Amino acid sequence: MKRRMIIFAILTALWCGFIFYLSSENSSESSQRSGEIITKICEIVVPDFKSFGEAKRQEIISDYSFIVRKAAHFTAYAILGALLFQLLCFVKDKRLRGLFAIAGAFLYAASDEWHQSFSPGRSCELRDMLIDTCGALLAVLLSLLVIALINRKKSKAA
């Protein structure tokens, strides 16, 4: 168990560092990164995207921007929630472990939003904290479901 905790502590710290790095970008860097990702997504999901004029492509990118940026928040914190859930493996009550993981993700989201507010053009958004926490919540619920299914399978085999 100690080895597992060390591995998940390292993975969690690296993931938090990655989130911190992204939050340190100023608004134009963040927008550029998002724009590049959204462009790649549009090239895949929007028929003939590359053949559109620049104005039309920018309009489509703008339309997708909000959803992709919020999905990124959700996903980043779902990963953090799953990592925290695994890191807290010493907490035997799985529901309590889940609660601690969600609380940890929320606290990191709050501190990260505050940190982000020091980056030029960025702000601290309550909505983003809630989206982040919902991502962690989903990851914890999925983790609990997997554990329940594994335990159910083990008890049927016994």
Plot region of 48 (φ>0 → left; ψ -120 to 50 → alpha; else → beta)? left
The arithmetic mean of pLDDT across residues 123-136, rounded, is 96
What's the pLDDT band for 154 if we cut at 50, 70, 90? confident
∠ Cα 146 150 154 (to 5°):
170
Q: What is the pLDDT of residues 76-91, one digit of tens each?
A: 999 999 999 999 988 9
pTM, to two decimals: 0.89
Model pLDDT, residue 55? 92
The ranges assigned to domains in the chain are: 2-157
- What would you report as the CA-atom Rg of the chain, rounded to the nearest whole angstrom? 19
CA separation for the pair 51, 85 (Å, rounded) = 45
- pLDDT for the residue numbered 87: 96
Tally Cβ neighbours within 10 Å of residue 24.
Answer: 15
Predicted confidence band of residue 31 (pLDDT cuts 50, 70, 90): confident
- DSSP string covering 89-115, please? TT--SHHHHHHHHHHHHHHHHHHHHHH
Q: How many CB atoms lie within 10 A of CB 32?
A: 12
- Give Cβ neighbours of residue 46 (< 8 Å, ≥ 6 apart): 60
Contacts of 128 (CB under 8 A, 6+ apart): 70, 73, 109, 113
Q: What is the C-alpha to C-alpha distance for residues 147 and 142, in angstroms, rounded to an integer? A: 9
Question: Rounded to whole angstroms, what are the CA distances from 15 to 11, 79, 81, 100, 139?
Answer: 6, 8, 11, 18, 15
* Residue-level pLDDT at 35: 87
